[in-house]
Structure 1
Amino acid sequence: MAHTPENTKIGFIGLGIMGAPMARNLLKAGYEVTAYTLEPEKIEAFVKDGGKGASSIAEAARGADVVITMVPASPQVEEAVLHKGGVLDNLREGGLLIDMSSITPQTSIEVAEAARARGIRTLDAPVSGGEAGAIEAVLSIMVGGEQEDFDAAKPVFEALGRTIVLCGPAGSGQTVKAANQLIVAVNIQAVAEAVVFLQKSGVDLRAGLEVLNGGLAGSTVLTRKKDSILAGDYKPGFKIDLHHKDMGIVTDAARAVGAAVPAGALVAQLVAALRAQGDGGLDHSALVRGVKRLSGENPDGAH
């Protein structure tokens, strides 16, 4: 049975940069959504927008047909789902858990196995598109799990994203997300290097990026990030801290299957270096700041 607004109550765990707009888009689609997050003020804001608030994970999961988790990393998913008082202790038998966090494929498989033992269905469904994609409900959603559960969850996903693909069994969504983060990080690093190269060459940076984005060098990264890069505005849509976590997932998962990712490994080090320099809370487009430092410039100087 498809999980439509008419027959589905959703518990939503995590109202961060991505989770908050996603939960609001479910409200707009007509779903009854009960949300929990660690910051009470975010729950209050969600209630003002028409949602329901919970005082715990248990309260958000009880009475739900579907629970969505959108938290930073594997440890938070394990705590929210597997630990005592978590989702698996409170979601009804036959309910569906959709984890939309970006975590290791192995954690997703462990969650799926633990849930199956409780009679709970699962999908791992990480997303790409950043804060803007979450707000606009145009996320790319890569899903791991069973076809039947994917089909049932399709109306929920359609309230959140535009490109929705079942990639294989449990853990497959996370594997594809790892590949996504590899491509995005290498792309941002290439854009960052081009930006500093153009600037130091005295080229009109706005004009240069505009024409580059119209050709084969064009990308969603350039489309989404060029204006903020030009403004020197690195307000986080996706934090360097989180991309650092994801690059660890990429390099570990690639090593496990014997895949060489030399460019990814290098960019993983550049992301780690930027984080060590104190820029972990900035948007991942702040890789420009790292290239500026390598080029002998003060990234906090004139843009």
Structure 2
Amino acid sequence: MSDLLHSALHSATNPSGLGGAETPPVPYSRPSTPGSAAFPIQIGFVGLGAMGALMARNLANHRAAHVHASPPILVWNRSPAKGEKLVTELGQHKIRVAKSLEQVATECDIIFTVLANDEVVKSIYQQFTETLKHAPPARSKIFVEMSTIYPTLAGELDTLLSPLSHCRLITSPVFGTPSVADAAQLLIVMSGDYRSKKEVAHMLVPSVGRKVIDLGGNLEKAPTFKLIGNSLILGTLEILAEGYTLADKAGIAASEVHDLVKDIFPAPGLIRYSDRMSHDQFDGSTGFAIDGGIKDASHIRRLTAVHNSPMPTIDIAHQHLITARAIHTSKVQAGKEAVEVLDWSGIVAGTRVAAGLEPFDSHKNLGVQVQED
């Protein structure tokens, strides 16, 4: 075989150009009898927030199109209106709204949970287990916890579920903003029971995400990995915020900084956050709410203390997030803020205030420059 032909074949089979075989989107073989189960799999979805609603929608659409006789997904949310909105959008053949969490627990074979914080997650699973103690499942039931939680909570959930017959738990947080979820391009992390991961992974890719990362059997690994990933994102946000603030002080236009970011850091996520800061666009309803960012930063700091692994950038970022939220809250209370939910890219308000600048309107900072001797 000629060198040229060998190179062409290598490029075709390994487009990454990094050597070795390309990593498959799903690192598990397909279940032994895909799509031909003796009974239709009933899926439940709990939590229809900014991410959950999009994930549930994409999963429902994909199964309706690709899984013969797939029953509509049973959804539950604290606010029933969000479930009804999905029914209106997709139709009753794709979505049903559960009357209660008890209905989800008893009727569903695979239950996905995408919730706001650890307290809500634990409360939901306590309700699941109380229900199933009185109505033990007769066949396999998989719980898929996809929220961003502190790792030890995974063990607590497993303790709740493990005494119940036929119940298995996997942790499966995701990386991506609502726009990424909308496009079904989430990066999915999994840890826990191998067979459960295999079944769920092929259900989620490509319907909800583009790739699954397997972290093994320890349920705490996926939540830990999620916090490590979020520390990288939050650290980048802090550096961006500091850079934009220095540019304000030095009289350099935000557009110039944003162009530089696009030239030297051509990563979609980083460019997206840079764009928000450069244009003072901090609407958290289309991004990641700052409350979630503060919760994640608190989890990361707790994890660094447990492992004696300092992250000083995250300590500073945590303070700037709190500062930004405090300023935003006071503006909302005074009727001076149009954005109801602040995105965590609003962290730049913390760095701006520390530098004596206007927090959310960079136009008021134009022309501010350091006095030279």
TM-score scaled by length of structure 1: 0.91
Letter in structure 1 aligned against 2:274: K
**Structure 2 partner of 1:38:** 78
State the Cα deviation string for residues 22-52 of structure 1 (Å, max 9, x = none): 1001012115311110112111101112311
Aligned CA distance change for structure 1 residues 257 and 105 (closer, same or farther; 3 Å)? same
Would the aligned equivalents of 1:2 and 1:154 in 2 still touch at CA under 8 Å? no
Query: Matched residues, percent identical?
Result: 23
Summarize the alignment of residues 13-28 of structure 1 with structure 2, pairs less than 5 Å apart.
13-28=46-61
Q: Does 2:302 align with 1:252?
A: yes
Q: CA deviation at 1:242?
A: 0.8
- For the structure 1 residues 221 and 289, does the alpha-carbon distance in structure 2 shift closer, same or farther, using more than 3 Å as the test? farther
Q: Is the 8 A contact 1:65 1:91 kept in 2?
A: no
Please report how far the alpha carbon of residue 85 of structure 1 lies from its aligned counterpart in structure 2 after TM superposition: 6.8
Partner Cα separation in structure 1 for residue 362 and residue 309 of structure 2 = 41
5+ long unaligned stretches in structure 1: none
Q: Deviations over 1:159-183 (max 9, x none)?
A: 2111311112111110001111211
Q: Which residue of 2 aligns with 1:68?
A: 112
Give the equivalent residue in structure 1 for 2:98: 54
1:281 is paired with a residue of what secondary structure?
Answer: coil
Residues 238-278 of structure 1, C-alpha deviations (whole Å, 9 max, x = no match): 11111111111111122122222222222222222323334
Shift of 1:194: 1.3
Q: Is 1:296 paired with 2:356? A: yes
Question: Map of 1:195-274 to 2, 5 A cutoff?
Answer: 195-215=244-264, 217-236=265-284, 237-274=287-324
In terms of mean alpha carbon deviation, does 271-280 or 103-112 score higher? 271-280
Contact map agreement 2:129 2:160 (CA 8 A) in 1 = no
**Equivalent-residue separation in structure 2 for 1:218 and 1:83 (angstroms):** 45
**Which of 66, 84, 106 is equivalent to 2:152?**
106
**CA separation in 1, counterparts of 2:230 and 2:354?**
23
SS in 1 for 2:353: helix
Q: Deviations over 1:115-150 (max 9, x none)?
A: 222131111111111111111111111112122221
Alpha carbons 1:2, 1:153 under 8 Å: kept: no
Alignment correspondent of 1:132: 179
| Alpha carbons 1:239, 1:284 under 8 Å: kept | yes
1:297 counterpart SS class? coil
The residue type equivalent to 2:290 in the other structure is I
Distance, in Å, in 2 between the alignment partners of 1:228 and 1:287 is 11
Q: CA RMSD in A?
A: 2.3
* Helix, strand or coil at the partner of 2:143: strand
Give the Å deviation of 1:226: 2.9
Asked if structure 1 preserves the Cα contact closer than 8 Å seen for 2:190 and 2:215, the reply is: yes
State the TM-score, normalized to the length of structure 2: 0.75
Q: Which moved more, 1:80-89 or 1:118-127?
A: 80-89
In structure 1, distance between residues paired with 2:131 and 2:311: 35
Per-residue deviation at 1:218?
4.2
1:174 aligns with 2:223: yes
1:169-223 CA distance string (max 9 Å, x none): 11111000111121111111111111222233333422331232222x4444322
1:8 aligns with 2:41: yes
1:117 partnered with 2:157: no
Larger radius of gyration: 2
Partners of 1:127 and 1:141 within 8 A in 2: yes
Residue 204 of structure 2 aligns with an amino acid whose one-letter code is F
Task: Kindly indicate whether the alpha-carbon contact (under 8 Å) linking 1:105 and 1:171 is maintained by their aligned counterparts in 2.
Answer: yes
Determine the structure 1 residue equivalent to 2:341.
281
> 2:201 & 2:33 partners in 1: Cα distance?
8
AA paired with 2:232? I
In 2: Cα distance, 1:155 partner to 1:84 partner = 25
Aligned CA distance change for structure 1 residues 253 and 136 (closer, same or farther; 3 Å): same
Q: Return the letter of the residue paired with 1:112.
A: D
8 Å Cα contact 2:113/2:147 also seen in 1: yes
Uncovered stretches (5+) of structure 2, i.e. residues with no partner: 1-30, 65-71, 330-339, 364-373
The match for 1:150 is 197
Local SS of the residue matching 2:48: coil
Q: How many residues align?
A: 302
